[in-house]
Chains A and B, each alone.
Chain A
């Protein structure tokens, strides 16, 4: 199940979503910001901390603390609202209901990952490991992020179901891409060619697949999950270079066509 999902997501990343991604970033479409958070475009963009007001954050984090016992449900949201000192009716602040709890978890953990990149721990890792290459960095970041799912991992299938609702799909997909983008930014990736898309697409696929695997992993300290992650990362190395070669070929073909047309007197 996990690998199937992985393939699907990778394919989506390579074909459909990356094109939309580019379009919206080019025009700075306001739709991008409807979800209350900003997507990270390109190098070094800061994560918005204004995704939630303090009151919303208080309610949602309280709700999240009830997820292990009550799941990603309306009743967890209600418990959060009551715990934060509000009324039954205040749940109307979150029109997407339990999905708002899921999104809060995704957004805050992504922001946390950006902060982690500033931390001493991360700098130490880089300083002490001379062979701390891109793949190791990505692996470390994936593990760091996945560990944050530990508390709610037994409820994670519910979250996945909510994320796949047609009305929530756009929101969860763009959140997944933001996560991949954040990770690549942290590793210091500066590429602006076609690999910009493939890197983010493939990483999104790997991350999503591993997350699903983790939800069913009963091994001690999720060792099987980290092994699964390593395998997927190894697979992607070959996928990535294939995609890169296809991209190069397409570039080459494009120049050829343009040059042939120019030689025929077409003004391009």
Chain B
């Protein structure tokens, strides 16, 4: 359950997080080593992200995101040359949120792991300007309070109300794998942008998504994926494994977060495998199930509950 991805990991991990990592690493001194806190006094305190116990992954990611919330968007822009904005625009434009005729009900959209509201604001904007629907509402759920606070701040700056039953946008702290506060069959559109990669149990998250969606509801997920062209893949890998961590070190003074970012991207299933997981959760795939963006660096996966 954890949240955020792409960008979310593209950010600073300040000393608070380092301290936490160091603490946890003592319990796991036997596990593999990738992250080494430079300030650690004991040279044996390391752990690899891949081998962290499930119960710890959640809190660890939560701490990391706590500390990076404020620099989230800046770092996204730097690392992706601003392309993440194009992806997100494309993502929202294709989903085309908002009611399309006077006979339709306004939509209830749930943006999971949507902390700072990147997707949510685009959804509201699209529903209002393209479909002329001021009633469609977005709920932003995130496991991380700091990220939500950042989103709420931006919502107020943009002039959206966030309190009350009929607020266009509301923020709630939720574990994406369970979504306890969301009733069954209540959501039209559930989105996750660069978040599902950080979930501890993706299958559980998908079946929970299936539970909360209405009949006919759509699950759509924007996530890093696999580049299908061999040559481009080599270039992309070189960029992600050497340039990104180096930039992380130079700009943010934190190589480890970026190392985690690129490793988690490599570990995420391919388009085909992830489409299979979505189907296994009970969704019908839209077309072949996914659409590549920028040669497959990212992909949009869509499934429908029928």
- Using a CB–CB cutoff of 8 Å, the interface residues on chain A facing chain B are 34, 53, 55-56, 78, 81-82, 85-96
Contact = CB atoms under 8 A, between A and B. Distances in A.
Nearest to A58: B306
Interface centre among A78, A87, A91, A95 (most CB of B within 10 A): A87
Contacts of B95: 89, 92
Interface in B287-305: 287-288, 291, 302, 304
Contacts of A91: 96
A88 B104 contact: yes
A81 B214 CA distance: 14
A53 B305 CA distance: 13
Nearest to A78: B100
Interface centre among B94, B291, B302, B306 (most CB of A within 10 A): B306
B215 A86 contact: yes
B229 interface: no
14 contacts: A55-B284, A56-B284, A85-B216, A86-B215, A87-B216, A88-B100, A89-B217, A90-B218, A90-B304, A91-B96, A92-B218, A92-B302, A94-B286, A95-B291
Nearest to B215: A86
Interface centre among A86, A88, A92, A93 (most CB of B within 10 A): A88
Given A92-B220, A92-B304, A95-B286, A87 B214 contact: yes
A55 B306 contact: yes
B114 interface: no
B97 interface: yes
**Cβ-closest 3 pairs across A and B:** A86-B216, A87-B216, A90-B216
A78 B98 CA distance: 13
Contacts, number: 67
B188 interface: yes
B100 A87 contact: no
A90 B107 CA distance: 11
B103 interface: yes
Nearest to B272: A30
A267 B220 CA distance: 59
Contacts of A55: 284, 306
B128 interface: no
Interface string B82-120: 000000000000111111110111010000000000000
A81 B216 contact: yes
A34 B288 contact: yes
B189 interface: yes
Contacts of A86: 215-216, 306
Contacts of B99: 88
Nearest to B283: A93
Contacts of B98: 88
Which applies to chain A's interface (DSSP): helix, strand, loop or mixed?
helix
Contacts of A92: 94-96, 218, 220, 286, 302, 304
B302 A53 contact: no
A82 B216 CA distance: 10
A93 B101 contact: no
Interface string B202-232: 0000000000001111101000000000000
B287 A96 contact: yes
Contacts of A56: 284
A89 B286 contact: no
Interface string B113-131: 0000000000000000000
Given A78-B100, A78-B101, A81-B216, A89 B287 contact: no
A82 B284 contact: no
B48 to A, nearest CB: 35
Given A78-B101, A82-B103, A87 B188 contact: yes
Nearest to A90: B216
Contacts of A89: 95, 97, 107, 188-189, 216-218
Given A34-B288, A86-B306, 13 more contacts: A53-B306, A82-B103, A82-B104, A87-B107, A88-B107, A90-B217, A90-B218, A91-B96, A92-B220, A93-B302, A94-B287, A95-B94, A96-B287
A89 B306 CA distance: 12
A34 B286 CA distance: 12
A95 B291 CA distance: 9
Contacts of B286: 92-95
Nearest to B190: A89
A82 B188 CA distance: 14
B288 A53 contact: no
Contacts of A96: 287
Given A34-B288, A88-B107, A89-B188, A95 B217 contact: no
